[in-house]
Structure 1
Amino acid sequence: MTSTLKNLGMQEVLDFDNTRNASSPIARLENVRAAAIKFREKIMQQPDVQYYQTVDLVRAPYPTWYGYTGVFAQKSLTFPFLHLLNRLFIIQYKDFNDQLKVILFSPTDVENNRKTPFFERLAGSLPESASKVFAPQYTSVEKTLKKLKIKPEQIDYISYDHLHTQELRKWLGSDHQPAYFPNAKLIVHEKEWNCVQGLLPVQSDWYCPDATVGVDPTKIITFRKSLALGHGIALVHTPGHTEGNHSLVVKVNDQVFVSSENGISLDAYEPKSSKIKAIREYAENTGVEVILNGNTQEGSNDQYISMVMEKTIAGPLHSNPAFPSCACSSESTPYWLFPGLKQTEILGALKFGKLIHLKS
């Protein structure tokens, strides 16, 4: 494994080894927090990635009691839905073999992802004409790359924090269709990949049916620990939301951005600083440091620890140090059709660095 990673210009991250082995949850939390502080110090000493951009792709309604688990009772909600804005992340960086690489994090196949059972049922409860209003799409992966003058064959890797709602066959190809990204490989945690091969009913409601069937196994790179892809970029295992959940860690603009769907807003990562009364009071009354995105609760204690880990690695947001620089892959944002919760601080779309265009 080590030799394979070396050939790929990657390295295992050992900083979090055994941090979750303590007998008590609070000991595991503090072990992970201490390791996250040291890991942040290391990545802050590394060069920035070459280019980092996030792009608004598509909106989707999402149950509020999932987004802020524990804060709201489903039956008592005045506004039962909030709106998530899903984003694409484009990162160009140098790997440890000094090769320039491009990874797409969370490249959503909007049309096919709608086959996710939960969202398919939700859409089925609405008139067909209403879908564009309830879940508007702003752009696509293909249009974004064309605008940036990045050719499909120039994408080296794709990755997702976990595979909820993700249909992979368009990007990677299958027995019945060519790959849109002919040279790309999927980087996925081994536990997440194994899970998709045999889901329980409580999981399958959130996964696209047959989303990996027929994908060439040589296009899959699995990892067991955390993984440094190159200078200033890593995929850190953050289990809980799913067993194989991992978070994107990127150093750029002299700060660290950490991305996943463990939480859906900066309010969720720093609830005691939230201006949303219910969230702030819940944090004050219970002592919680974070609020889980809990549509599936495969491991709530682990997810809680992972969110603390994420915000510790991220550190303070430059524009508002009361919150960490956690760039949620799907961020709760205002939308006229769902006028309920007003987020305290919205990170929004980001762009840093200069994209280097390479010949094919």
Structure 2
Amino acid sequence: MSAAKVAPEVGTRIEWLAPLHEWGLDPGAVLDRIPSCATDFRPELRASGTPDSVDTYDLITLPYPTRFGLWRASMAPAPFVSITNRMLVVRWTELDGRRRTLLFEPSDVELGTNTPYFAALTKRTPSRLADLLIQRHDDVLTHLRSAGIDPAEVDYLVFDHLHTQDVRRWLGTTTPQPDLGAPVPLEPIFPNARLLVQRSELIALDHLHPQQRPWYQPDTYRDLRTEAIVPIDGDILLGPGVAIVATPGHTTGNQTLVLNTSSGIWASSENAIAAECLVPRYSKLPGVRRWSEQWQQGVVVNANTVETIAAQYNSLILERSIVDVCERDSRFPQFFPSSELTRRWTNPGTAPTFTHQRITHRGGAKGSA
């Protein structure tokens, strides 16, 4: 889908982080600017209020290469880690009384398996072994039913990036989809929802680099309803305590959900697979602390492609600079991996030192957003 065909933006532009996105800056210059930008942004986000609620729902636990998730730092013998992909449901009330519902990472897990990388992995994995390694939790629609949320109530769908995502069933299409058994255009399951995505991520779908191709399903975006796609250029404040921040690196158009809650500020993305990757000095994962100290690396990125890894490093530093520390253990930041490292007996040496597992928040406060 061409970015030129999409609908106009929503939300309020966040100016406090704009100095990080100035064209022509090298990664070192961006890194130097992060502390002051984060210092300016944090009080502004707090002043905007908090959402009414935040809830977490597990979707799938699956294997993921250790060399990607923990990049060069791990000395674990297991070639794979386990990660749990989770959906966040965020609800807030606008100043005019309108209720908003946002789904963050509402992955259509069934269609996600068609992603070239995972399709190839599945093909060479015996089904009995796959059943052992993969744990499917409830799907998006089952979770919403249990929460009493009608799909028609959902306003926004947000992913940190479009790796593995096929959203045709969620947003509907303008043409038949034979591979889904649809001889006519698909009606949207979320008829009032709009996909908020960085414009650069949409552009990438039209011009994928060979390093990127194994992780995307670009053909699934060609026939989507264009009115359901909203491009974002940078950082926006969507509602009280709800922001989307551009965090390029894991992909060109990576973005982070940032939330101000009753337990402080959180950030969620897949730039890292564990909170300890943002503070590797506290990690007990084999090799991580030593690697960080040896190479003076302040964070451990989740890098399945490496074309923009310096930008991803900076984005993780930004996320760490924005969030508060965890109430349960102040060593670890309130960075919530959208796919979090999960202990699994099949993967020795990859048990996380610390996990968040969920964000739960109640009690909104209206601000100036």
Q: TM-score, normalized by length of structure 1?
A: 0.92
Structure-1 residue corresponding to 2:231: 222
Choose from 175, 187, 194 the match for 2:196: 187
Residue 138 of structure 1, CA deviation: 1.0
CA distance in 2 between partners of 1:213 and 1:26 (Å): 37
Q: How far apart are the structure 1 equivalents of 2:223 and 2:150?
A: 24
Q: Which residue is 1:132 aligned to?
A: 131
Per-residue CA deviations over 1:293-344 (Å, capped at 9, x if unaligned) read 0101231111111000011111211211111100110001101222322211
How many residues of Structure 1 are paired with residues of Structure 2 in the alignment?
A: 346
Return the alpha-carbon distance in structure 1 between the equivalents of residues 46 and 153 of structure 2: 28
CA contact (8 A) 2:76 2:287 kept: no
How far residue 213 of structure 1 moved from its aligned partner, in angstroms, is 2.3
1:302 paired to 2:311: yes
1:47 and 2:49 are equivalent in the alignment: yes
> For 2:46 and 2:138, how far apart are their aligned partners in 1?
33
Q: Deviations over 1:203-254 (max 9, x none)?
A: 1100125221210111111011211101100000001111110000011114
**2:210 corresponds to:** 201
Question: By how many angstroms is 1:16 displaced?
Answer: 1.6
Equivalence map 1:17-32=2 (5 Å): 17-21=18-22, 24-32=26-34
Describe the SS at the equivalent of 1:319: coil
Partner of 1:332 in structure 2? 341
Kindly indicate whether residue 292 of structure 2 is the aligned counterpart of residue 290 of structure 1: no
Moved more, 18-27 or 177-186: 18-27
Query: Partners in 2 of 1:127 and 1:158 — Cα distance?
Result: 34
The one-letter code of the counterpart of 1:152 is P
Verify: 1:246 aligned to 2:263, yes or no. Answer: no
Q: Deviations over 1:144-183 (max 9, x none)?
A: 0000010010111101010000001010011221111111
1:270 aligns with 2:271: no
The residue aligned with 1:35 is 37
Q: Does structure 2 conserve the Cα–Cα contact (< 8 Å) formed by 1:55 and 1:350?
A: no
C-alpha change, 1:99 and 1:67, in structure 2 (3 Å) is same
Please give the per-residue CA displacement for 1:258-309, whole angstroms capped at 9, x wherever unaligned.
0000000012111111122411111111221111101012311111110000
2:12 partner letter: Q
Cα drift, residue 24 of structure 1: 5.0
SS of 1:322's equivalent in the other structure is coil
Q: Say which of 351, 354, 362 aligns to 1:342.
A: 351
After TM superposition, give the deviation of residue 23 of structure 1 in Å: 5.1
In the alignment, structure 1 segments of 5+ residues that lack a partner are 356-360
Q: List alignment gaps of at least 5 residues for structure 2.
A: 1-7, 176-184, 365-369
- For residue 118 of structure 2, what is the aligned residue in structure 1? 119
Return the alpha-carbon distance in structure 2 between the equivalents of residues 278 and 98 of structure 1. Answer: 51
Any idea what SS the aligned residue of 2:215 has? coil
Q: Distance in 1 between matches of 2:113 and 2:99?
A: 34
CA–CA distance in structure 1, aligned partners of residues 223 and 160 of structure 2 = 22
Identity %: 30
Higher relative CO (CA 8 A, sep ≥ 6), structure 1 or 2? 2
SS at match of 2:219: coil
Asked if residue 148 in structure 1 is aligned to residue 134 in structure 2, the reply is no
**Contact 1:96 1:229 (8 Å CA) reproduced:** no
CA displacement, residues 93-138 of structure 1 (integer Å, 9 cap, x when unaligned): 1346552200000001011000011111111111224333221101
For 1:54, the aligned partner's letter is T
**Aligned residues: CA RMSD:** 1.8
State the AA in 2 paired with 1:244: G
Any conservation in 1 of the 2:211–2:307 contact (CA below 8 Å)?
no
Residue 73 of structure 2 is matched in structure 1 by 71
Moved more, 230-239 or 248-257: 248-257
CA distance in 2, matches of 1:312, 1:114: 34
Query: SS in structure 1 opposite 2:288?
Result: helix
- CA positional deviation for 1:77: 5.2
Query: Which is further off, 124-133 or 252-261?
Result: 124-133
For residues 31-64 of structure 1, give each alpha carbon's deviation from its aligned partner in whole angstroms, at most 9, with x where no partner exists: 0221012211221233211010111110110111
1-side partners of 2:363 and 2:120: how far apart? 42
Matched, 1:212 2:228: no
